[in-house]
Amino acid sequence: MPQPPHRVVVAAFPGVELLDVTGPAEVFSVATRVAGSDRPGYLVQVATADGGPVATSSGVRLLADLTLDAVDGQVDTLLVSGAIDLSGGGVAPVVDREVTDWLRTAAPRAHRIGSICAGAHLLAAAGLLDDRPATTHWLTAARLAAEHPRVRVDSDPIFVRSGRVWTCAGVTSGMDMALAMVAEDHGQALALATARMMVMYVKRSGGQSQFSVPLSVQTDTGDRIDELRVWIAEHLPGDLSAEALASRLNLSVRHFSRLFRQRTGTTAAAYVEAARLEAARRLLEESDRSLPEIAAASGLGSVETLHRSFQRRLGTTPAEYRRRF
């Protein structure tokens, strides 16, 4: 007798990000088709407060399968989509009160729960992230930490799993999280086949950064520090000491150091190390070069320095990082 499909319920509300709902849904749908009829797949249902059509942030309307109150029986995975309000020049997560109230009673009945993007704010408002590590879109991570101090917010990872509770970063990372759920349910082989079918980068996983070092400290076009940042990325093996960088801009070391921190929020030394570490991570993910070669190409110099940087910043070794990613 065939096993019943894994039931996934996605909670949505007016103004929700379209891809927060359809991205994970498509991953589960493709996984079902790839798995074939002899293996249990996924049944995805969209639930809203009134069960009617919902206008998303893009203007595309979603048709719900059922109302929130009608979600009964076994729910294997309960996902909460999110939305970010950018009106008025500000950035604010949308916290739908009806969905939040419903989560307090519905979430304990689900085998696994998760949020996509700013949906983490709804889980937090319902008390479901207290004393847990969690992530969300980098734009709203600081606000999540400020409004919910019991949540251990980390703005960097693509997704975070804490027991049965999963949270992920912005928008498309919901697809990465869904792929990881497929791997947990059915094994890595099916997740890989699903990613190939969707032309996705299956290696991007929890623990990898949701934004690059250069992107995280972008400044205005034409800014000398911004131009220097681009130059640094192209000359990682070279002399990138504060003295050398200051000389390149014809500034004193003291003035350069103050200007760099003012423009980027970090020191030149910390930025250079982060940029070199990111280059090393990329080489570990995408090449079979040896550790001495990677240490030299990234500018970290020696395998010992490579190991120290990975342990201090990522809490792992280069070899373990390569094995995982």
Chain segment 247-263, per-residue pLDDT in tens: 999 999 999 999 998 88
Quote the CA–CA distance of 319 and 325 in Å, as a whole number: 10
pLDDT value at position 298?
Answer: 95
Side chain identity at residue 12, one-letter code: A
Does residue 140 surpass a pLDDT of 80?
A: yes
DSSP 1: -
Q: Which of 128, 104, 103 is nearest to 12 (CA)?
A: 103
pLDDT band for 314, please (50, 70, 90 cuts): confident
Helix orientation angle between 18-35 and 173-186, rounded to the nearest 10 degrees: 30
- pLDDT tens track for 184-243: 999 988 998 998 899 886 555 555 566 566 555 555 545 788 889 889 988 999 999 999
Band of pLDDT at residue 78, cut at 50, 70 and 90: very high
> Which CATH entry fits the domain spanning 213-324: 1.10.10.10, 2.40.160.10, 3.30.70.3270, 1.10.10.60?
1.10.10.60
* The predicted structure's pLDDT at residue 221: 45
Task: Give tens-digit pLDDT for 42-55.
Answer: 999 999 999 999 99
In the chain, domain spans: 6-197, 213-324
**CB-based contact 127:113 (threshold 8 Å):** no
| CATH 3.40.50.880 is held by the domain 6-197 | yes
pLDDT tens string 14-48: 999 999 999 999 999 999 999 998 889 999 999 99
Query: pTM score, two decimals?
Result: 0.70
Sign of dihedral through CA atoms 310, 311, 317, 323?
negative
Same fold, 6-197 and 213-324: no
Q: pLDDT by residue (tens digit) across 94-109? A: 999 999 999 999 999 9
CA distance 160 to 144: 15
What percentage of the chain reaches a pLDDT higher than 70?
Answer: 92
Q: What is the mean pLDDT of the chain?
A: 90
- Residue 184 CB partners (closer than 8 Å, separation 6+): none
Reference 231, options 268, 179, 186, 206; nearest CA is 268
